[in-house]
Structure 1
Amino acid sequence: MRIAVLGGTGLIGSRVVARLKVQGHEARALSLSTGVNVLTGEGLGAALADAEVVVNLTNSPTFDEASAEFFRTSMAKVLEASRAAGVGHVVVLSIVGADKVPELDYYRAKVLQEDLLKADGLPYSVVRATQFMEFVDAVLSWTTDGDTVRLPSTPLQPVAAADVADAVADVAMGAPLDGTLNVAGPEVFPLDELGSITLAAEGGAGHVVTDDTAGMFAVPKGDVLTAPEGARIAPTHYRDWMAARADRADRADEAPGR
């Protein structure tokens, strides 16, 4: 199949493109760097002209109230170009539990993106993922003050980006779901415990203080950000992912010329 991957040079998109190519599909990585702008529509029509499937992994540059306008504008452009090209399947990536946290601007914006896709009439699939393992360090940094990291005990079910990419690629290669596939990692951690595990593995001097008012993840209540029934459970465990990341870093440090 000819599959166009918007946002195809990013964390998830680059992995999706690689997976699709291994499976024998003609996958094209499209982004601003390749001359495709989903906000203005520049280059979009030509890029999707003969595509059978469009995977939209583009993301808002901000996570505040401006994110809603990004998804409103970009989805309108992508859907218009997809209809004109005769695309038979549009896939987007969203967040598990996004509709349960309307207090967060970005989560509300992702639900808007989903709703625009569902209302358009094109065959579609939504893949919702839990929080990426790759983003845990950033989450910790948001509430770090010196050696103290304040974190709520909100349950999270982190998933590796590679596992999310596999799920997105599998959906893109299949028939439209006209529905949603949820993807999550194999373990649930309270965020404060996840922070302690991360700091210990990284050998840092910091310590975690439980604070159920700290940061954006203090807003979700209960287990809304964990996998619902019927979710696809990915194989990668967080401690294994951390160990593999550390091993890659060690090998990079030992490379000739370093």
Structure 2
Amino acid sequence: MRIAVTGASGRVGRHVVELLAAHREHEVVALTRPAADYADLGALRSLLTGVDTLVFVSSDGHAATVMLHHANVVRAAAEAGVGHVVALSGLDVDVDSPFCYAVTNGHTEQLLRASGCGYSLARASVYAEFFAGLVRGVLVPGPRGDEVRLPAGDARVSLVARADVARSLAALALLPPSNTHHDLTGPAALTVAEVAAALDPAARHVDVAPAEYLAALLGSGETSWWAHAYATMLESIRLGRWATVSGEVAALTGRPATPAGHVLSR
């Protein structure tokens, strides 16, 4: 097969390329910007011509721009005759969700189902490495020790290691289209308090109002868009939209998912 991977210079895409390159019977094409510009439909169509399977690692940035990028990729794949699109999505794809990227993920999945391409949807939970950085960013001294001030209540999130997502994407690329979704999660769903304790045993989670968290982000110099993205993700977590735990990583790769505690303690 000829397998193309978008976002091949990113942390997930690069790992997918490395894993697929070990299968020397297949040709692996690493697509990176500016050559593989998500905004350039013609260039995408040209790059995807002759590709059997596309591993589509999602774009990033403002939601409206991401939706345009994803529409271009799906259209280019369909027009180029790509037989199988392995698309990285998220656990929360509900268009009624408060999370800004739930809309983009849900819209992309709808486009793929209508595209005529075979597809496999990889719905990843929140990356453990990313969430660890988010928690460390709000770890502050408090009157009774270190505090993690996040608006998540006692909700749980099934943090998944980036490496497990990459392994699952590579495995799906070597299989026929499943034409369904696969939930890629860690082996357990943790509360923010448990995540905080894994990072700093002395830290405790303090649930704060979303407005207070948003103001703290903006006050620290975060852009308005990313402050909005983080706040809406945490609201989605608080509503239980990221608590699903599945065995899909092990089923696809033959290896169990990495416990979040192993990632957080690094």
Asked if Structure 1 and Structure 2 have the same fold, meaning a TM-score greater than 0.5 normalized by the shorter chain, the answer is yes
3-state SS, counterpart of residue 19 of structure 1: helix
1:50 aligns with 2:50: yes
Q: CA deviation at 1:103?
A: 1.2
Instruction: Evaluate the alpha carbon distance shift between residue 44 and residue 188 of structure 1 in structure 2; reply closer, same or farther with a 3 A threshold.
Output: same
3-state SS, counterpart of residue 28 of structure 1: strand
Q: Please say if residues 78 and 116 of structure 2, whose CA atoms lie closer than 8 Å, have aligned partners that are also in contact.
A: no
Give the unaligned 5+ runs of structure 2: 214-230, 251-255
| Structure 1 partner of 2:101 | 106
Q: Matched residues in 2 for 1:163 and 1:76: separation?
A: 26
**More deviation in 155-164 or 105-114?**
105-114
**More deviation in 213-222 or 37-46?**
213-222
Instruction: Evaluate the alpha carbon distance shift between residue 94 and residue 218 of structure 1 in structure 2; reply closer, same or farther with a 3 A threshold.
Output: same
> Aligned pair count?
233
Q: Matched residues in 1 for 2:262 and 2:97: separation?
A: 33
| Structure 1 partner of 2:162 | 161
Which amino acid in structure 2 is aligned with residue 209 of structure 1?
A: H
Give the unaligned 5+ runs of structure 1: 201-205, 246-258
1:181 aligns with 2:198: no
What pairs with 1:130-145 in structure 2 (closer than 5 Å)?
A: 130-141=125-136, 143-145=138-140
Instruction: Evaluate the alpha carbon distance shift between residue 149 and residue 79 of structure 1 in structure 2; reply closer, same or farther with a 3 A threshold.
Output: same
Once the two structures are superposed, what CA deviation does each residue of 1:14-36 show, in whole Å capped at 9, x if it has no partner?
A: 11111111122211111214x11
Q: CA RMSD in A?
A: 2.4
Q: Please say if residues 71 and 113 of structure 1, whose CA atoms lie closer than 8 Å, have aligned partners that are also in contact.
A: no
Q: What's the TM-score, normalizing by structure 1? A: 0.80
| Structure 2 partner of 1:148 | 147
Once the two structures are superposed, what CA deviation does each residue of 1:81-125 show, in whole Å capped at 9, x if it has no partner?
A: 222322101111111133286112122221111111112221111
Q: CA deviation at 1:211?
A: 0.3
3-state SS, counterpart of residue 55 of structure 1: strand
Q: Matched residues in 1 for 2:95 and 2:83: separation?
A: 30
What pairs with 1:1-258 in structure 2 (closer than 5 Å)?
A: 1-24=1-24, 25-33=26-34, 35-41=35-41, 43-61=43-61, 66-67=62-63, 69-99=64-94, 102-141=97-136, 143-145=138-140, 148-151=147-150, 152=152, 153-200=154-201, 207-211=203-207, 213-214=209-210, 216=231, 217-221=234-238, 223-227=240-244, 231-233=248-250, 234-243=256-265, 245=266
Q: What's the TM-score, normalizing by structure 2? A: 0.78
